[in-house]
A and B are shown apart, each in its own frame.
Chain A
């Protein structure tokens, strides 16, 4: 039993990664990936919202009439997003300010709403929680990958750790690829990342 629960979570990280394979939730990914620490914070927030909303929607799935299901999803998700926003305002106000508008935008995040509609609304609670966890971790992994590329190659350092460690790797002659810090650089980096993942999955025959 627990073996298949783990599989439920694991698929969200790899084979069905919401960003890299299902190509969902790209807007906040692009908006938040300029710095690694922002990416991590956003990833954690999305994971929390995913688990909570999947849990609740799965709990009430038997009682929601089909006509009102979207309204119920939106309200549940928006409530958890607001709750996360309030908690962050108390414990991590700087991160919350850095994430800016993308934090409340989680309420209409594709990943969250799609998992609610496609999975949590017709799956048992246990599986739904695992799905939320897996999708959240997968989202965070993708976000960290993109943020890592953008911040390390784009500025040559990781501001959060106050380390100019890239100088140690590349040597002080490293000329940062400034374009990566700009929005269009994010598009290009994400595109290349997706292309890489595509090539890899073709080889593994994942379709």
Chain B
């Protein structure tokens, strides 16, 4: 029979027990998940820098960079995470610059551009032009080829890549 007297004692007991159970489970699962996420992140970084073993997040001129180190602690380079407004929505990309100041590559993480039009940003023909560009000449980066018919998708990436490269040089190259 339902008890209408309204004593919250059982509710409190249930809350406490549930809180304890969840705390315990979190203590068990958190280290495992953190380790796995670290490994996955390092794997992603290895795509740009072979032998990546450690990374550290820093902020330079308002841009988020991840400094990448190998297992001896040597600075391999840095990867910037950036987002720009594309044609339909924001485009999230990562730009990797080596310790010598050259662009290693660009990777588009997320975008909402039209597949056959703005989607060209995922194609090698667009991405390859970044490779090897020196950070000392940000204007050369900003002058890279925009893709006709996909200006609103490609131009913001190119222009912002110039800013990223400039920030990197200012910070890491003398």
Contacts and interface: CB of A to CB of B under 8 A. Distances in A.
A90 interface: yes
Contact of A71 (B4, B11, B22, B29): B11
Given A87-B29, A90-B33, A93-B36, A63 B10 contact: yes
Contact of B4 (A65, A72, A79): A65
Interface residues of B, number: 21
B60 interface: no
Given A72-B14, A89-B33, A66 B2 contact: yes
B166 to A, nearest CB: 35
Contact of A76 (B4, B14, B25, B26): B14
Interface in A59-90: 60, 63-69, 71-72, 75-76, 78-79, 82-83, 86-87, 89-90
Given A72-B14, A75-B11, 16 more contacts: A60-B10, A60-B14, A63-B10, A64-B10, A65-B4, A65-B11, A67-B6, A68-B6, A68-B10, A72-B10, A72-B11, A79-B21, A79-B22, A86-B25, A87-B29, A90-B33
Interface of A: 60, 63-69, 71-72, 75-76, 78-79, 82-83, 86-87, 89-90, 93
Interface of B: 2-8, 10-11, 14-15, 18, 21-22, 25-26, 28-29, 32-33, 36
